[in-house]
Amino acid sequence: MCLTASMAVCAEPVSQGASPAAESGADRPPAVSRTAKEFSEADVQAAVKEAISSRSKDGSVRFHDPHLNAELNLVFEQIRIVRGMQGYGWFPNVIFHDRDAPAKKYAIDFWFKPQGDKLELVDIRIQKGPKQDGDNWIMVTRLPVAWWWLPVSEHPGDMEVTRAWQVMAAIHKHIADTRKNGVYQLKDDKTGNTIPLEFVEIHQPVRRLKEDGRYFACTDFRKVGSKDEYYDIDFWLDGKSGSMSVRSVRIHKVPAQEDGLWTQVPRYNFDGLNFEVVQ
């Protein structure tokens, strides 16, 4: 499978401007309607520049890094590559450098989804960040990698089964659709309190229960306003409705202080569950 500049998931590269290729399989989202606007790479590049412009001030672009819980002031350099995935959207990878240290470069992914005749910005994630190497700076891939990079290594025929990246995509979409102003509100079923959370990352591996076919994956969230209070949240999904969807959300681990340091305390474990790892 490949990710290409045309909106398709395919076995071989597709030339720019080709029509979207329909997917098959119960766990896949429906194909984009032929009556919907077919966006070009130029459309995506324009959407990227608009998103950058809206975040620009005094010559730099403001981004929040959820992984480091830091505010970044970056300068745009170039759109490195544009990829598209049928049914999921567009994923341009954009190069920036630090405003005060031009040698410190970032590769940042933008996730856009078609909404009518427009491209809606769903999320922004840092793919590579700067790391000092002697007197120089290099870009190092952030781990875990975003789900939209995982299908690159797949082969024709692999889509006959549900893949880990499809489960991760459904979780990320649920988070993006549910949060407001960047905040994901989760009710604690033990205390009854609603916790404001900031999404950090989705863990791997993804797992599937052999008993009933449900999928689940762990995620990291940080409590809004805190630097060190992390929650491990489990998302449980199934594809029985014809598309992969989140059915329940459970708090797996909660933050607790020990000797002045924040740790995570499990609410439950996976003992007794018969599951397999999803590739």
Q: What is the DSSP string of 42-73?
A: HHHHHHHHHHHHHTEETTEEEEEETTTTEEEE
Domain ranges, ordered by start, for the chain:
2-149, 162-278
Question: Residue 2 pLDDT more than 90?
Answer: no
Contact 2, 158 (CB under 8 A): no
Q: What does the pLDDT read at residue 240? A: 78
Mean local confidence (pLDDT), 9-21: 34
Q: With 60 as the cut, is the pLDDT of residue 28 above it?
A: no
Mean pLDDT estimate for the chain: 87
pLDDT at 3 over 60: no
Q: What is the mean pLDDT of residues 151-171?
A: 77
On whether the CB atoms of residues 151 and 85 are closer than 8 A, the answer is yes
Binned at pLDDT 50, 70 and 90, residue 15 comes out as: very low
Whether 35 has a pLDDT exceeding 50, the answer reads no
Pick the range with the lowest mean pLDDT from 141-150, 156-165, 267-276: 156-165
pLDDT band at 112 (very low <50, low <70, confident <90, very high): very high
Provide the 8-state DSSP code for 202.
E
Structure tokens at 200: 């950090």
Report the pLDDT value the prediction gives residue 20, as an integer from 0 to 100. 34
- What is the SS3 assignment for 144? coil
Q: What is the pLDDT of residues 233-278, one digit of tens each?
A: 999 998 776 789 999 999 999 999 999 899 999 999 988 889 999 9
Of the pLDDT bands very low, low, confident and very high (cuts 50, 70, 90), residue 23 is very low
